[in-house]
Structure 1
Amino acid sequence: MIRPIVQVPDPVLREVCAPVQAFDAALRELVSDMLATMYEAPGRGLAAPQVGLPVRLFVMDVAWKDGTPEPHVFVNPEIVEASEERVTREEGCLSIPGRVSRVARPAAVALRWRDLDGAAQEGRFAGLAATCVQHEMDHLDGVLCTDREEPEEAVA
């Protein structure tokens, strides 16, 4: 089911999200809905607060627009390492339509998370995937990409 995407200034976008507690059918349904919503939008990532739920969960697929869908689900994620090298990219946000922000972030990150069964996972992300991971992680802490841009870096 496609869910409505929450837009600024909805206060749920500023909440620090609570950990997911139950790895059950309801979580699987939520993830299915979030992926459908992300693809329909269309976007590369979507965090639970963007569909009105302040829990530590996001979905991401940086490859699908190139014709090779690779959906990823991150439950209770945490960044455990970030590179010193930084890259600046233009970021859009489904919750801030029509706005593009230039944001500098670490070029690579290491992440720990749980999968849909609650099993621990680890991975490293670089390039666009690293930017997307960090953007979605920010949503889980009530931070928007517009908070991270320099005033002169606003593109539109």
Structure 2
Amino acid sequence: MASIRLQVSVASGLSPYIAATPSGRTMATLHRPTLPKQPSRLEVEGREYRIEHAVASNHVLLNDFRYALVDAAGGTLASCTAKPGVRATDVTIGDAGYRLVRRNRWLSMRYTLEDAQGRELGRIVETTGFSLWRRKFALEMPEPIGLPAAMFLFFLAATFTYR
């Protein structure tokens, strides 16, 4: 099965995440919001998307959040409800269901994408180790989910790790 293989990097602070091929061609840019209620913006090969978030349920200490990848026409391409403190998050991409599973979080980020049977389909791994500034990640996802959904999964992993 063909796969999407990208190197994702971020300089620091609120700078965007840049996803590029091994040859250096930029494929996607993920802009993080500067204000709390703003959606994140995602540019993939000239097309615009947004990643919306909302509180899904109010708990006394920790809230559940709903995230959605939305295209320019307003159609939802992918979504999930994230519960704090949980290792696995169920994600819907199109009509298919997947699980984004945190594997390690001590010194670097490592997530896998699994199907309903628990088979590993893809992964997101921090390749720079512990660093507060310039970080690099390897993103490897199955091609059928598409580049926008792969970047949405990366957004989720980064958000869960670096809240």
- TM-score, structure 2 normalization: 0.34
Larger strand proportion of the pair: 2
Which structure has more relative contact order (CA 8 Å, sep 6+)? It is: 1
Larger helix proportion of the pair: 1
- TM-score, structure 1 normalization: 0.35
